[in-house]
Amino acid sequence: MLTCQTILIFLAMYLPFIACSSKSCVMDILDDFEQMKVDVARSKAAKPAFFAALTPHFTLTGINAVLKFDDVKVNRGEAYDPSTGVFTARVPGLYHFSCMILANHRAVVHYQLNKNDQPYILGYSHKGLAADSSTISAVMELTVGDRVYVKHRHTGASEVVFGAAHTSFSGYFIHE
């Protein structure tokens, strides 16, 4: 039994061929179809997204320590580099980033989300009776080559971030 959707697909695919009898017309239709396939593939590739967790406990020392989220679960577009902890925009547009940090037992963690070499938003995991977490998120306008990463923002102390997939960093493309 044919469904309405099947009939519509059939008409969309074959009606132009029925109405078009010349070879150049058929070739134009085939070229348009190939271009549609390229456009669909490009639109899928143009929407980067990543999610990565931290597996080992990570000691932040000094103001320049960048968190390297090593357990990459999603890396669509391959724009996040787990060896550096940096997301590099390959597509310009609006992005959303989020970071959740779990401070190791009875510790404090001062951190920030950077856009290029500038702080964009600050985070702080408070010293609780046990482990304590905090989450920061931001919407950013990025151009090709802009870098986004999470780094330590305390100069005088070493601070331990709890790993074991309790700490994460993610980002995704929203719109051009």
The mean pLDDT of the chain is: 83
Asked whether residue 88 carries a pLDDT value surpassing 50, the answer given is yes
Average pLDDT over residues 94-102: 95
pLDDT single digits (tens) 18-72: 556 666 766 777 777 677 666 555 555 569 999 999 998 888 887 778 999 999 9
Nearest in space to 136 (alpha carbons), one of 82, 83, 67 = 67
Q: What domains sit in the chain, N to C, each tagged with a CATH number?
A: 49-175 (2.60.120.40)
Percent above pLDDT 70 for the chain: 75
Confidence of residue 157 (pLDDT cuts 50, 70, 90): confident
Q: What is the pLDDT of residue 33?
A: 66
Q: How far apart are CA 98 and CA 150, in angstroms?
A: 10
**DSSP secondary structure of the chain:** ---HHHHHHHHHHHHHHHH--SHHHHHHHHHHHHHHHHHHHHHHHT--EEEEEE-S-EEE-STTPBP---EEEEEETS-EETTTTEEE-SS-EEEEEEEEEEE-TT--EEEEEEETTEEEEEEEE---SS-EEEEEEEEEEE-TT-EEEEEE--SS--EEEP-TT-EEEEEEEEE-
165/168: higher pLDDT: 168
Asked whether residue 140 carries a pLDDT value surpassing 50, the answer given is yes
Nearest in space to 110 (alpha carbons), one of 78, 70, 62, 69 = 62
pLDDT single digits (tens) 1-16: 555 555 545 555 565 5
Q: Positive or negative, the Cα torsion across 148, 57, 128, 166?
A: positive
Structure tokens at 93: 């547009």
Q: What is the pLDDT of residue 72?
A: 97
Q: What is the pLDDT of residue 8?
A: 46
The predicted model scores a pTM of 0.73
